[in-house]
Structure 1
Amino acid sequence: MKNLQKKSIFILIIGLLLNNHRIQSQNPKETEIYKWFDKNLGIESLDIKNGAAHLNFDKTINNENRYLVDNFRRGNIVYNNQNYYDLLLKYDIYRDDLILNPYDEANSTKINLHKENIKSFTISNEKFVNLTDLPTIFKGGFYEEIILKNETTLYIKYLKEKKKINRIESDLISYVPAYEFILFKDNKFNLINDKKNLIVLFPESKRKINDYFFVNRELRKENPSLFMKKLINYINN
């Protein structure tokens, strides 16, 4: 906690020296300051390194896995209202956990970060937010956030459902991708997992929606999240 307080004070002082009056976002200079401070303080001293070890003993079929992407990638986190940059992260979508590789080493212990402390994170330029106050009909947790025009935001929940495959030599696991699509429109969260939901929200675009579903059948099957991103943009244009 002391190191976290030192970091906050340090950034505040530097921010004043830079005459920076923006609170919600960091310019490139601020980002470099955060990265410099974390590097010189050491990741072992930071609040973000706290968490249980990440364990995975899955024996899967066809090299399937429980992750959004099965390797660590560089990303940023807002954790306990502090910004951390250029960390090695991986998202376990089966358990809805964000994993940190704190020492940038293949054999080092990986950490499941405390989910309740994560406001948002970014991996490969995709931003995920922790939605904690959703109505109970929704899954909740981490969603990819795509901000659109007209005060509309698309949220995508990535899921994987576990299925056991019984084989003579051993039991294997298969992970089947699933999704929850939410559209924040007219100050309300709306489930849009099927075409009917979309037509209710955009009755004036019924023909466009039907045409899009017909033309992009293969994309919907191969990449549902990209299908939905393109569809919402198509409707809004």
Structure 2
Amino acid sequence: MKKLQKNLYFLILFGLFLNIYNIHSQTNNEVSTYNWFDKNLGIESLDFKNGPAHLNFDKTANNQNRYYIDDFKNGSIMYNGQHYFDLYLKYDIYADELVLRPYAESNTTKINIIKDYVSSFKIGNQKFTNLKELSAPNLKKGYYEEVILANNTILYIKYYKERNNVVGENAFYIGYLLKYDYILFKDNDFHLINDKKEIIKLYPEDKRKINDFYFKNRNLKKEDPSLFIKNLMRYINNLNL
């Protein structure tokens, strides 16, 4: 009887404990707690373990690949309403799939996490959001890097790669070309801003400011287009670069 009461007491405390952490904002203690449960329950018990295997048989040219970053990096995901931290992730931007390596040590096991249940994920300091509700035909659904600006304004960057065949010596190889789409959430709507004219249309009072930025940052636009757009939008919204 005492053992039953003790177990019941533990379950009540455990339930209260989880409710407290659902109510409060994310803290270091919260992250540590989730990590403790994941570690002790085992990665095999987590919701997303049943995703399909990630397979890649690409024979690529010039060290090109289908990933945003080729190596697995420490990150976290929001999956089916639950946070999971301290995971080993990388982002396949050709297939628009988030890939999990279930264990810290190097092995061949890789899983495509089921996209429909992923709200967002982080790799390092970069946050990616699953914009699966986009309805306009010119806007791609899927994962976008999220950059918070100001006044309910958010920049979303879609990274994707186009695949082509490369003829090598006695063999064919696969090449990948990195591309970008930029969406601005402003005035409670999503706007495609791949062109300077589209940006000026949203900020007509800042036309001169935008033209000056394009002129002064021509090299950055060629070398790192996504950083160029991030800096431009921060500049327009009077944020520190």
**TM-score between both structures, scaled by the size of structure 2:** 0.89
Percent of aligned positions that are identical:
57
Paired residue for 1:198?
199
Unaligned runs of 5+ in 1: 1-8
Paired residue for 1:128?
128
Q: What displacement does 1:98 show?
A: 0.2
Q: What displacement does 1:21 show?
A: 7.0
- Checking the alignment, whether the CA contact within 8 Å between 1:157 and 1:181 is kept in structure 2 is yes
Q: What displacement does 1:168 show?
A: 4.1
Give the SS at the match of 2:52.
strand
Q: What amino acid is the match of 1:224? A: P
- Checking the alignment, whether the CA contact within 8 Å between 1:75 and 1:89 is kept in structure 2 is yes
Paired residue for 2:226?
225
Q: What displacement does 1:20 show?
A: 5.4
Looking at structure 2, the residues matched to 209 and 10 of structure 1 have their Cα atoms a distance apart, in angstroms, of 56
- Checking the alignment, whether the CA contact within 8 Å between 2:213 and 2:232 is kept in structure 1 is yes
Paired residue for 1:5?
none
Give the SS at the match of 1:68.
coil
Change in CA separation of 1:208 and 1:44 when aligned onto 2, cut-off 3 Å = same
1:63-212 aligned at under 5 Å gives the runs 63-134=63-134, 135-212=136-213
Q: What amino acid is the match of 1:14? A: F
How many residues align? The count is 226
Paired residue for 1:13?
16
1:37 and 2:37 matched: yes
Unaligned runs of 5+ in 2: 1-11
- Checking the alignment, whether the CA contact within 8 Å between 2:184 and 2:192 is kept in structure 1 is yes
Q: What displacement does 1:195 show?
A: 0.4
Q: What displacement does 1:78 show?
A: 0.6
- Checking the alignment, whether the CA contact within 8 Å between 2:128 and 2:145 is kept in structure 1 is yes
Looking at structure 2, the residues matched to 12 and 119 of structure 1 have their Cα atoms a distance apart, in angstroms, of 24
Greater Rg by CA: 2
Q: What displacement does 1:220 show?
A: 0.7
Root-mean-square deviation over aligned CA pairs? 1.6
Deviations 1:81-104 (A, max 9, x none): 111000000000000000000012
- Checking the alignment, whether the CA contact within 8 Å between 1:11 and 1:33 is kept in structure 2 is no
Give the SS at the match of 2:83.
strand
Change in CA separation of 1:72 and 1:20 when aligned onto 2, cut-off 3 Å = closer
**TM-score between both structures, scaled by the size of structure 1:** 0.91
Give the SS at the match of 1:62.
coil
Q: What amino acid is the match of 1:99? A: V
| Greater alpha carbon shift after TM alignment, 213-222 vs 90-99 | 213-222
Q: What displacement does 1:11 show?
A: 6.5
Q: What displacement does 1:107 show?
A: 2.0
Looking at structure 2, the residues matched to 148 and 35 of structure 1 have their Cα atoms a distance apart, in angstroms, of 30
Looking at structure 1, the residues matched to 199 and 15 of structure 2 have their Cα atoms a distance apart, in angstroms, of 45
Q: What amino acid is the match of 1:133? A: E
Deviations 1:179-210 (A, max 9, x none): 00000001110000010000100011101111
